[in-house]
Structure 1
Amino acid sequence: MKRIGMVGYFGWGNFGDELFLKVHRQQLGETYDLKVVHDLQQEPYHSRPLAEVVEDYDAFLIGGGDLLNPLRVSGLYWQMEYLKKPVFIYGLGVPNQPYRRENVLDVYREFFDHENCKLIVARDIESYNWIKENLNPGDKLTWYPDPVCAMDRPAALPNTEKTLGVVMREHRSLNQDMSSVRTMIDTAKGMGYKIRHLVLANMELGKGDLERARLIAEPDEEVFYSDDLDEMCQQISACSMLATIKFHGLVVATMYGVPSVAMSVTPKNRNFLRMIERQEMLCSYTNEKVFERISHYPARIHQRVRADLYYRARQGYERLASEMAAHV
């Protein structure tokens, strides 16, 4: 069995990235031996010289969302040594799209133009267009919905109570003023919602996110924490609505049909909400009117929307598997 090295933000406990690992293994694990490449969580990320590490693998799969930062090249993802073997880039997003540094883009252009860079899959049409216009990678570029849309999800839990799930995070960029979030929560309670603070992280990142949830929660509000990704997904499925600062909280909720307020005004949230025609659900957690997004009778995400995302995301993995079979 061919060994594929997976390169991404894996092992820190971020919900979306750990879900990427899960769905990669679901879709590719029967055909390939999939291994996370890095073994350190700080630079240089590898305990051995990278040239030696590369020799352990037959190809590399790079992915995990906002990896194509136009302002800074990460030392984890875009190492030219990987291109000694076939490289496949999957689920790629572009943060900070209005900004760029030409020396950074030159690094990406060199990487994408290499003959061993076999496939580049963006996660939305906006990222696809940005990559096409700025990096000119040719016909190796395509796009499909976020890979997590293709995941075989655990069975949904019964929705026995009117529940608002609230997802925050601990991050250096976080505004410490939670007054708008508190107003939103109190508004929901006035509508009869039970409040459940969901910690969508584990491992190292989970510690800070759990502390943040405990700081926000009042005594009559539940705080949920688990190391198990399936349990996290099921807790989302049991909500009537979700208010989430985390993108993959939005994605997973959508696939269960749960409507979500996206409380981080980022390109990935904006683009995904546009894809499912729910743009009105984008509102920052600092916006004093975020409470207006809470509804007495929230409209669930239609099954046709969910089926289309699932089908197209599965098509993406079929394209990836086809390219891997041809080049590995």
Structure 2
Amino acid sequence: MRITIVGNFGCGNLGDEAILSGLKTLILKKHRGAEITVLGKGKLLPIGLRSFLKSLVQWRLWSQPLHALKEADYVIIGGGGLFTDEESRRGTVLWTLHGIVAHFMGRKVLCLGVSIGKMGWLSTQLAKVLFRRALSVVVRDKKSLDRSLAWGIDAALAPDLALANDVQLESSEVNTASEKYVVINLREFKNYNEKMIQLFVQLADFLVADFGYKIVFLPLSTDAHSDSYILNKILIQMKHSEKAEVDDEKDTIYEIVNLMCGAELVISMRLHGSIFSILAEVPVLPIAYMDKVKNFWSGEQLKVTPLSVESITLEVLKKDVLEHLNSRERMQRNMRDYKKELAVRFDPVTRPIL
């Protein structure tokens, strides 16, 4: 069996790489001998201006992805927040094009583990065209499911594909022996400004001064919007910078999850920072900078409420941090119970792959 996976891979975003790894895990558990080809950065159809001009003299930029689509028994579009105009309108066009081309080649197209965010008229129509021609559509949050059903798409719901990664946690004895710390991940976003920097400078100093915690700033992306830039800006402005560090050496799911496993709390702006905390079984305070963060948590049984960047204040941050620290054991139990149900909840992802 040959399967081609199309998505936002190879761009330095550890969340997307975790999605790919989780999807491969699910496929290979059901079909051990499956041949998997990945179309990500540098391997997708060249529809961008620069890549298109380059393709005029390098035909392989067209022939290689077309061959990968044509030779596949199944073409999977996913997963993650692929269908939204919040960061770029180009994305929906790109993913739809691959799916439609594969469909007209007679391939079985699956849209798996995706979410649907805010889109304009054109992107909405393109997404509808793709979903109506797909053999299966599986979304990762309730709002995306409701939107799909409103379009007349018989979609199914499953957890984010990153949660399919089977990460072995280090023993609690190792973690409790280390210095107590809080993991913080932030990223640049549309309305990011200096006020937001100062807010987290004050929060980090508060956690050091009042609790004695070490602060581990954790970048989860090395792409054009590298997290390290904003995290280093916070670090150098802290009064207690000697009790903080930017750990930019963790570049695998195993390393990230086990770093979080020993933390008292994870505060994350990136969606997959908070998803990794589920794998690590550590309380998380998500910061919602896009609808996909709010939508993911709104339908999850863990009952975690993200803070919106539009209304965040230092007082609100402190209050929520204290509440999460005080309910740490309860949240950990909830996460363990949630993880036990994951195997069954992923069934819609692999069911159509015969």
Partner of 2:24: 25
Secondary structure of 1:92's partner? strand
Structure 1 gap ranges (5+): none
Whether 2:108 is the aligned partner of 1:86: answer yes
Matched, 1:40 2:42: yes
User: How far off is 1:36 after superposition?
Assistant: 0.9
CA shift for structure 1 position 304: 5.3
Residue 334 of structure 2 corresponds to 305
> Contact 2:11 / 2:41 at 8 angstroms: preserved in 1?
no
Task: Give 1:199 deviation, angstroms.
Answer: 1.4
Q: Structure 1 residue 225: deviation in Å?
A: 1.4
1:95 is aligned, of 76, 101, 117, to 117
- Which residue number corresponds to residue 161 of structure 1? 179
Map 1:63-142 to 2 at 5 A: 63-69=78-84, 72=89, 74=91, 75-79=93-97, 80-83=100-103, 84=105, 85-96=107-118, 100-114=119-133, 117-133=134-150, 135-138=151-154, 141-142=155-156
Give 1:316 shift.
4.3
Matching residue of 1:197: 217
Alpha carbons of structure 1 residues 320 and 287: separation in structure 2 relative to 1, 3 Å: closer
What is aligned with 1:3? 2
Query: Equivalent residue for 1:278?
Result: 304
Supply the distance in 2 between the matched residues of 1:149 and 1:287 (Cα, whole angstroms).
28
Tell me if the contact between 2:159 and 2:346 (Cα under 8 Å) persists in the aligned partners: no
Q: Which of the two has greater helix per residue? A: 2
CA spacing shift, 1:61–1:312, aligned 2, 3 Å: farther
CA distance in structure 1 between the aligned counterparts of 2:67 and 2:278, rounded to whole angstroms: 42
What TM-score do the two structures reach when normalised by structure 2? Answer: 0.79
Asked if 1:223 is matched to 2:246, the reply is yes
Paired residue secondary structure (1:186): helix
Q: Deviations over 1:109-133 (max 9, x none)?
A: 221222xx11111101111001211
1:242 is aligned to 266
Tell me, yes or no, if the aligned pair for 2:37 and 2:68 is still in contact at 8 Å. no
Pick closer, same or farther for the CA change 1:237–1:179 going to 2, 3 Å: same
Q: Tell me which residue corresponds to 1:54.
A: 69
Cα displacement string for residues 277-298 of structure 1 (whole angstroms, at most 9, x for unaligned residues):
122x424287223233222834
Matched, 1:318 2:347: yes
Q: Tell me, in whole angstroms, the C-alpha distance in 1 between the residues paired with 2:350 and 2:321.
A: 41
Which stretch of the first structure deviates more once superposed, 156-165 or 214-223? 156-165
Q: 1:33 to 1:317 in 2, by over 3 A?
A: farther
TM-superposition CA deviations, 1:180-236 (whole Å, max 9, x none): 11121122112221111111124x358x32233222214311111123332122112
CA apart distance, 1:31: 4.1
Partner of 1:251: 275
Deviates more, 1:244-253 or 1:70-79: 70-79
| Structure 2 unmatched runs, 5+ | 52-59
| More divergent stretch after superposition (43-52 vs 215-224) | 43-52
1:175–1:286 contact (8 Å) kept in structure 2: no
Give the aligned CA root-mean-square deviation in angstroms. 2.6
Q: Distance in 1 between matches of 2:136 and 2:9?
A: 21
Q: Deviations over 1:138-157 (max 9, x none)?
A: 3xx11012122232013246
In the alignment, which of 294, 299, 306 is matched to residue 321 of structure 2?
294
Query: Per-residue displacement from partner, 1:97-119 (whole Å, max 9, x unpaired)?
Result: xxx433322222221222xx111
Deviation of 1:93 (Å): 0.9
1:248-278 deviation digits (Å, cap 9, x = unpaired): 1111112322112212243332234332112
| Cα shift at 1:63 | 1.0
Output the CA distance in 1 between the equivalents of 2:198 and 2:128. Answer: 44
Relative distance call for 1:14 and 1:41 in structure 2 (3 A) is farther
Give 3-state SS (helix, strand or coil) of 1:57's partner. coil
Cα distance in 2, alignment partners of residues 260 and 239 from structure 1: 10
Count how many residue pairs are aligned between Structure 1 and Structure 2: 313
Measure, in 2, the Cα distance between the counterparts of 1:197 and 1:70: 29
Mean alpha-carbon deviation: is it higher for 143-152 or for 270-279?
270-279
Instruction: Give the TM-score, by structure 1 length.
Output: 0.85
SS class of match (2:216): strand
Q: State the one-letter code of the partner of 1:118.
A: L
